[in-house]
Amino acid sequence: MNILGTIKGQEKAVNYLRNSARKKRVANAYLFVGPDGTGKSTVARGFLAELFCQGSESGKTACGACPNCRRISENAHPDIKWITQEGTARIGIDEIKEIREFLSLKPYESRYSAVVIDNAHQMTQESSNALLKVLEEPPGDSLIILLTNRKEWLLPTIISRAAEVRFSPVGKDDIIDIVMGKLGIEKAEAEFLSSYSGGSPGTAILMAGEDLELKRKALRSVTAEILKKGDPSLAVWPEEDRTNLIQQMDHLLILIRDIAYKKLSLDEYIIEKGVLSEDMAECTEKYSIDRIYGMITKLIALKRAVEGNVNPKLVSSVLPGEVFG
């Protein structure tokens, strides 16, 4: 199967890369920028297949069946190296040294030696500088693809040496198609996942592996805590675990978004229709739509802070007052 042909919702990125491959106008480095789960690594794999495929006639797309295409699908091609760090672990100097060595060798059997660095923003200062040196004098047959959802954390000098390819959040209907196709689930469930996923098919698919009933319960408990006080800015919300807090903030974002939809009479977009509808109606009365947008902005800023390593306990203690106060 042609990998790029399976991508939905990123036509611009896919067309651009297909054209570069077809015209053999390939940059030494690419920077794929976009939210998690929007297809950056799949598109990287698909782009490499376009470049490495042995089966297709020139000017055609990758065949998806030759040994190169197959090994790329399985992450097992000897001329391609993937650097992937778990969670928030940093990418250290040793990884970059490995990359430099790998790229300095002639490719075993292909035209290129390629390296994909996932979560490239997790490079340390030292490793960023080392990578910059590689980008400044790239070995002839080398190709580097950086993937990130935090472009602003990368050195400007790295950004300027890579061709940027943007990945946008994927539309609701495309996500429904993708998760139904991949997981063979009912449309209603796919709709729920899609609304919850923030435009990221990857998130929707990950969530499908979780207990959705548990997820709904968690959403209800966060909602209940915020709404029961009458004045949500007085809610008490101690949370010491970063991952839990980020999930709860996602739930809260959904709740606030639902309140906005309710206010705008866009009931069909409300995710948790059954959740505490009376309390929600009260909130709808209380806040103007401008105010609700302000809350969303504040909440997103706080979420970024937690993701960027600000202490979760501190953030959760100020959160109700900051967002609702």
- Binding residues for Zn ion, rule: CB under 5 A, are 53, 55, 62-63, 66, 69
Residue 33 or 53 with smaller CB distance to Zn ion = 53
Q: How far apart are CA 205 and CA 197, in angstroms?
A: 9
Q: Which is nearer to Zn ion, 4 or 245 (CB)?
A: 4
**Identity of the residue, 53 or 179, whose beta carbon is nearer to Zn ion in the bound complex:** 53
For residues 44 and 22, what is the distance between their CA atoms, to the nearest angstrom?
A: 15
Shortest separation between residue 55's beta carbon and Zn ion, angstroms:
4
| Cα torsion angle, 284, 288, 289, 290, sign | negative
CA distance 218 to 251: 8
In the complex, minimum distance from the CB of residue 73 to Zn ion, in angstroms, rounded to a whole number: 10
Q: Which of 220, 218, 251 is nearest to 319 (CA)?
A: 251
Output the smallest distance, CB 21 to Zn ion, in A. 12
Task: Report the nearest approach of Zn ion to the CB of residue 88 (Å).
Answer: 36
3-state secondary structure 181-248: HHHCCCHHHHHHHHHHCCCCHHHHHHHHCCCHHHHHHHHHHHHHHHHHCCCHHHCCCCCCCHHHHHHH
Q: Are 61 and 5 in contact (CB under 8 A)?
A: yes
Nearer Cβ to Zn ion, position 52 or 192? 52
* Cα gap 302→21, rounded to integer Å: 41
C-alpha to C-alpha distance for 84 and 3, rounded to whole angstroms: 20
Minimum CB distance to Zn ion, residue 54 (Å)? 6
Q: Which is nearer to Zn ion, 53 or 123 (CB)?
A: 53
**Identity of the residue, 66 or 159, whose beta carbon is nearer to Zn ion in the bound complex:** 66
> Could you tell me the smallest distance in angstroms from the CB atom of residue 77 to Zn ion?
11
